[in-house]
Amino acid sequence: MKKVLIPVVMVALLAAIPYLGVTMAGQQYLFGVAIPYAAAALFLLGFLYRLFDWLKRPVPFRITTTAGQEKSLDWIPYSRLDSPATPLQAWVRVLLEVFLFRSLFRNTKAELREGPSFTFASSKWLWMGGLAFHWSLLVIVLRHTRFFFTELPGLVVPIEAADRFIELTLPAFYMTDAVVLSAVTFLFARRLRDAKLSALSLPTDYFPLLLIGAIAAAGVSMRYLDKVDIMTVKALALNLAQLSFDPVPGTIGPIFYVHLFLVSVLMAYLPFSKLMHMGAIFLSPTRNLCNNSREKRHVNPWNKPIKFRTYAEYEDDYREKMRKANLPLEKE
């Protein structure tokens, strides 16, 4: 269980650092301004570097995963999403993957039965958990933009309103807070519980889940439990949004610095980890290419001529045998 303990200890340590740094050493500026800037810079530059690093490499062949009928004869309907014939269809395929996790929707669970044989039952848990996790994260990130603008961006208003539709608490309860914490718990638990998942998981799989869970927990607790001065937080965020290096404008509870530091760690970690899948999913050649390799030639930039055994060499070797078999010859 070392695989789980290492990340648990790491996240605990990472949470302790800003807490102690602020309460014992008075490093509000370091954790409130300097580190967030550094992390944001790492995130942006790192993300762009990784995208560029992928994009500069060629896609030598057009290798799609066809999960539906190809476009062939006119009278045979083809699958526009699973065997796309035009770039538009391919991009719809990618976007549905990004927003709805179509491939995960297909998921089945294989079970060994007497015979031996197998049953393949539909299994939508991962799809549901994954969707809940990613969508609530997106809503939460969008919601947070309210801190960085004096006026809430127009797009965010309805999202924010919808998110606190259920008014259970004061301040209003955000559904996504509950969803993201449940989803993280589910995704974490399935890695532990399932024998296959536990065998294939690495510390780097538990770490981001724990980190995101800790960020959410810190965020939730300073909103509902150990409340921090929201106006000062907003003032700091506005400063950051304007790239100002002013000191932190007032006193904020230490739990806020834990939240902000863990977000900084996440931002800095993201470009160098599997979390880059958020960029990679757009580039995956099996999904974003058309299945039209026979219709339209795909060019491979490093394709070079190759020496192969020509017909002439073949005939030279087999001329007598070919003659006896009455095969036409180039040279008599």
Partner 1 sequence: MSKYVPKKEDLSKGILQQESLLTGARIDGDWWDEPFEFRDGNFCHAAKPEVLQELGFPNPRKWAATDDDWLLPAGWEKTIKEGLQEWLKKSRSLKLYLDSCVRCGACADKCHFFLGTGEPRNMPVVRAEMLRSVYRNDFPLAEKILKGFSGSRRLTKEVVKEWHMFYYQCTECRRCSVFCPLGIDTAEMTMVVRDLLNRIGVNNNWILAPVANCNRTGNHLGIEPHTFVQNVESLVDDIEELTGIKVNPTFNRKGAEVLFITPSGDVFGDPGVYTMMGYLLLFHHIGLDYTISTYASEGGNFGMFTSGDMMKKLNAKMYHEAERLKVKWLLGGECGHMWRVVHQYMSTMNGPADFLEKPVSPITGTKFTNAAATKMVHIAEFTADLIHNGKLKLDPSRNDHLKTTFHDSCNVARGMGMFEEPRYILNKVCNTFHEMPENTIREQTFCCGSGSGINAEEYMEMRMRGGLPRAAAVRHVREKHQVDSLVTICAIDRASLPALMRYWNPGVSVYGLHELVGNALVMPGEKRRTVDLRENTMAGFEEEDDDE
Stretch that binds partner 1, among 167-175, 224-232, 235-243, 284-292 (CB under 8 A): 284-292
Stretch that binds partner 1, among 18-26, 142-150, 211-219, 313-321 (CB under 8 A): 313-321
User: How far apart are the C-alpha atoms of 88 and 255, rounded to whole Å?
Assistant: 47
What is the x/- site pattern for partner 1, positions 202-221, by CB under 8 A? Answer: xxxx-x--------------
The DSSP line for 251-290 is: ---HHHHHHHHHHHHHHHHGGGSGGGHHHHHHH-HHHHS-
Backbone angles phi, psi at 315, to 5 degrees: -65, -40
Site for partner 1 in 99-128 (CB under 8 A): 101, 103-104, 106-110, 112, 114-118, 120, 126
User: How far apart are the C-alpha atoms of 290 and 218, rounded to whole Å?
Assistant: 45
Rg (CA), the chain: 28
Residue with Cβ nearer partner 1 (53 or 226):
53
The DSSP line for 4-24 is: HHHHHHHHHHHHHHHHHHHHT
Closest distance of CB 41 from partner 1, Å:
15
Stretch that binds partner 1, among 23-31, 32-40, 73-81, 215-223 (CB under 8 A): 73-81
Which runs of consecutive H residues, i.e. helices, occur in the chain?
A: 2-23, 28-29, 35-55, 87-100, 102-105, 125-148, 156-163, 175-193, 195-200, 203-220, 230-241, 254-269, 277-283, 285-288, 311-324
Name beta bridge partners: 117. 113
Stretch that binds partner 1, among 27-35, 164-172, 240-248, 314-322 (CB under 8 A): 314-322
Site for partner 1 in 239-268 (CB under 8 A): none
Candidates 168, 242, 294, 332; binder of partner 1 (CB under 8 A) is 294
- What does the DSSP 8-state code read for residue 180? H
Q: Determine the longest span between alpha carbons in the chain, in angstroms.
A: 99
Closest distance of CB 180 from partner 1, Å:
17
Closest distance of CB 262 from partner 1, Å:
17
Candidates 13, 57, 151, 332; binder of partner 1 (CB under 8 A) is 57
Q: Is 244 helix (H, G, I), strand (E, B) or coil?
A: coil
Candidates 62, 80, 146, 234; binder of partner 1 (CB under 8 A) is 62
Closest distance of CB 144 from partner 1, Å:
23
Q: How many CB atoms lie within 10 A of CB 11?
A: 22
293 lies in the binding site for partner 1 (CB under 8 A):
yes
Site for partner 1 in 139-168 (CB under 8 A): none
Candidates 97, 160, 163, 177; binder of partner 1 (CB under 8 A) is 97
